[in-house]
């Protein structure tokens, strides 16, 4: 890999790591567009699968572990596996930019709606069926481009998760889904020895970005975290829209 390309990749992974440690999500949405400046988008997504898994595992391990918080997420977890498998297949045939555009519009619409109804909660009777659907969508979007975090955030916020449980829930779910992503990429031949090596090397700038991100997150109150999260979701959604339109 040429030196300039490697520098851009390192910068993208560093930035994605900082965002991921601060919010608990957003690694792929933040880093993929930067890597796509110098790499084929599918190659960028494949390489990022390994640091994405490492970052999710790190977030889950770093968070205050409230295992009870995972109980309502059972249907979501069940839906992840078929979603990951479907997404790995779709990565070979679907135009990624249309997926990015649709997800971006959904995320920006959610943030706009939240401004007018900040206390929105999903009705109790819909938590499990919607959770399964979100699980499938999460799996698909992880495989298609590591862009599942904003959708997962919308669901967790709608069932009442706040800072500590939110970060742990996101980290645990994304650890499962990105682990499946790495495995499915390896099985389908997308992740070969060269891509795996680049992915492992990318964990170096990832670690630096995440350490800085964790330090920043620790200084945020619950209210400040919620404001930062909504602002970041809006910006990440806009980023997806722009990437989808011009990609």
Tell me: the pLDDT tens digits for 119-129?
667 787 888 89
**pTM for this predicted structure:** 0.78
pLDDT digits (tens, 9 = 90+) for 135-169: 898 888 887 777 777 778 888 888 888 777 788 88
pLDDT tens digits, 172-188: 888 888 888 898 889 88
Q: Pick from 90, 199, 83: which is nearest to 152 by CA? A: 83
Q: Span 24-51, mean pLDDT?
A: 85
Averaged confidence pLDDT in the chain? 83
The share of the chain scoring above pLDDT 70, in percent, equals 92
Does the pLDDT value for residue 201 go beyond 90?
yes
pLDDT band at 212, cuts 50/70/90? very high
pLDDT in tens, 42-89: 888 889 999 999 999 998 887 666 677 677 788 898 998 888 888 877
- Of residues 20 and 112, the one with the higher pLDDT is 20
State residue 116's pLDDT score: 62
DSSP H helices, the chain, are 3-23, 27-35, 41-62, 74-90, 96-116, 127-145, 149-158, 163-188, 193-201, 203-217, 222-246
The distance from CA 43 to its chain's CA centroid, rounded to whole angstroms, is: 17
In this prediction, residue 218 has a pLDDT band, given cuts at 50, 70 and 90, of confident
User: DSSP characters for 99-160?
Assistant: HHHHHHHHHHHHHHHHHH-TT----GGGHHHHHHHHHHHHHHHHHHHS--HHHHHHHHHHTT
């Amino acid at each position: 890999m040429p030196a300039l390309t490697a520098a851009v990749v390192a910068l993208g992974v560093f930035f994605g790591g900082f965002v991921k440690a601060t919010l608990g999500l957003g690694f792929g949405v933040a880093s993929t567009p930067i890597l796509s400046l110098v790499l084929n988008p599918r190659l960028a997504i494949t390489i990022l699968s390994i640091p994405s898994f490492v970052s999710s595992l790190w977030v889950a391990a770093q968070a205050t572990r409230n295992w009870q918080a995972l109980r309502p997420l059972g249907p979501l977890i069940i839906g992840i596996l078929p979603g990951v498998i479907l997404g790995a297949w779709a990565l070979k045939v679907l135009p990624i930019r249309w997926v990015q555009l649709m997800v971006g519009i959904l995320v920006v619409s959610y943030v706009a709606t939240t401004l007018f109804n900040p206390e929105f909660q999903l009705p109790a009777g819909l938590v499990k069926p919607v959770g399964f659907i979100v699980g499938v969508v999460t799996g698909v979007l992880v495989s298609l481009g590591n862009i599942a975090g904003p959708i997962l955030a919308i669901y967790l916020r709608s069932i009442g998760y706040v800072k500590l449980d939110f970060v742990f829930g996101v980290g645990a779910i994304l650890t499962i889904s990105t682990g499946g992503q790495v495995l499915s990429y390896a099985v389908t031949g997308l992740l070969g020895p060269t891509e795996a090596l680049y992915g492992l090397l990318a964990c170096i700038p990832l670690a630096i970005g995440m350490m800085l991100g964790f330090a920043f997150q620790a200084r945020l109150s619950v209210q400040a975290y919620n404001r930062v999260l909504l602002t970041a979701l809006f910006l990440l959604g806009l980023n997806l829209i722009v990437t989808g339109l011009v990609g």
